[in-house]
Amino acid sequence: MTKSSNQTTRRVGRRQFLKTAAGGAAGMSGILALGQAPAFAQTRELTFLTIASFVPATDVELKRQLEEWGKANNVKVRLDIIAHLQLQTKKAAEVQAKAGHDITALGPGLGDAELYFDHLVDLKDIATEIGAKNGGWISPENYPIRGEWKLLPWWMPPFPIALRTDLLEKIGEKVPDTWEDILRIGKKGKAIGHPFGTALGHSADANVTLLSILWSYGGSYVGKDGKTITINSKETRTAMDFVKRLYTEAMDPEVLAWDDASNNRCLNAGKCIAIHNPISAYESAKKDKVVVPGTQQPIAEVIDHVHTPRGPVGRVTTTGYWCFGVWKYSKNVELAKDFLRYHMQPANQDKWVEAGHGFNMPFLANLANHKVYESDPQYRRIPDVAKVTVPPSWPGPTTAASQQVLDLYIIPDMFAQHATGRMTADQAIAWGEKEMTDIYAGRKKRP
């Protein structure tokens, strides 16, 4: 090829390039004029913030479903899992910044929907759709806040009593049914080095157990109107005196500093004779092949789960009410709703519940008697406990104030001050009453 032909080729190539580029630019202008983003800019990402489950297989299945949905819909997905006690701070920071994850876990109470009401998308459309596909919601009156579904109910972990059957036999006791039975068994167990274990400090478990005792003895901290503080009563004094006896006669002082994993560790270390807790300790014992100290016997074989105890007035308990929320500042609201529809399909919920071995009970009627609860004798009581489980604000409605009572651990602090002798029952109740009154009047803000 000659020098002249080379130059001609370069000129034609350059003219063709400019013509193509001009056409491309014109096409791009047309797309932008129509308000359409170019294809290469349409990368979509859905982010989800949740808490670490005490049964890790639950998180594995959730991640699998999120990735499966993302792949099918050409969406990049990210699941961020944090310790549950970090969630309050993380949510508050995201709201302050109006940036962060698209979907967030809400809980452990229902009050987040009130607390963050103006920052959450109304999910009534998909709540109605999901409920219809799953036999309806359990206690649907609990979830709308100010008439809007600012949260989508997800799961709760019911709280039975987990106990050591071999130690029960050793002290000559039968299966407990009441809180007085727990005191008697714990007292005998402590005498041989095996106390009853439940947190009395700043933990979600402490809120659950102490509210359970308060209600079972006829007390409450707020009335049905959601305004009247009712903690100052003879029933509360009776419950507080019982907890003082339980602490001094049947427990170790270390429970004042326990977190939500401490009672699991106490049971699986072979120390505690019984704990008030979901089935997570049992699941951990099986998974880690924990044995009774000094033997080769799997400790899971001598753990049994029985009904949450009743008190003089009745049998009632609570738990963490975990829900989904979608932030209004999310740029992917419809994607978030689409994934929630996918995750809450009956087939996917079935797999997710089975992965958690019943630890994560949905608020859906068709799943309340899931086959998993018949797969192991240790799961048999979970549906029974769920039937006597009420929201933490009971008998009042869920409000931002009821959530703050939980978040500031007012109930555990009040009980602990009396149990340890730092205050009389009257002094501790007066302290708790003032704290709650200030919270409900809006005079006390969360730290």
CB 160 within 8 A of CB 307: yes
CATH annotation of 43-157+319-387: 3.40.190.10
Nearest CA among 76, 77, 81, 75 for reference residue 49? 81
CATH annotation of 161-317+408-440: 3.40.190.10
**Does residue 439 surpass a pLDDT of 50?**
yes
Q: List, for residues 284-316, the tens digit of each pLDDT value.
A: 999 999 999 999 999 999 999 999 999 999 999
Model pLDDT, residue 446: 57
Q: In what order do the strands lie in the sheet with 303-306?
A: 196-197, 274-276, 161-164, 303-306
For range 375-403, the mean pLDDT: 94
Nearest CA among 385, 348, 381 for reference residue 367? 348
In the three-class reduction of DSSP (H, G, I as helix; E, B as strand; rest coil), residue 48 is classed as: strand
**Does residue 19 surpass a pLDDT of 50?**
no
Q: List, for residues 209-219, the tens digit of each pLDDT value.
A: 999 999 999 99
Q: How confident is the model at residue 447 (pLDDT cuts 50, 70, 90)?
A: low
- The DSSP-derived string for 93-153 is HHHHHT-S-SEEEE-SSSTHHHHTGGGB---HHHHHHHHHHTT-BSSGGGS-BTTB--SEE
Rg (CA), the chain: 27
Joined together, the tokens standing for residue 201 give: 């400090």
Show Cβ contacts of residue 138 under 8 Å, excluding neighbours closer than 6 positions: 363, 364, 365, 368, 386
Summary mean pLDDT of the chain = 90
The residue type of 170 is K
The domain limits of the chain are: 43-157+319-387, 161-317+408-440
**Does residue 202 surpass a pLDDT of 60?**
yes
Could you give the percent of the chain with pLDDT greater than 70? 90
Q: CA-CA distance, 433 to 53, in Å (whole number)?
A: 34
* pTM as predicted: 0.85
Q: Do domains 43-157+319-387 and 161-317+408-440 have the same CATH topology?
A: yes
The residue type of 42 is Q
For range 379-385, the mean pLDDT: 94
Nearest CA among 142, 105, 74 for reference residue 338? 74
**Does residue 121 surpass a pLDDT of 80?**
yes
CB 183 within 8 A of CB 245: yes
Q: List, for residues 233-266, the tens digit of each pLDDT value.
A: 999 999 999 999 999 999 999 999 999 999 999 9
Model pLDDT, residue 14: 43
Q: List, for residues 65-105, the tens digit of each pLDDT value.
A: 999 999 999 999 999 999 988 998 999 999 999 999 999 99
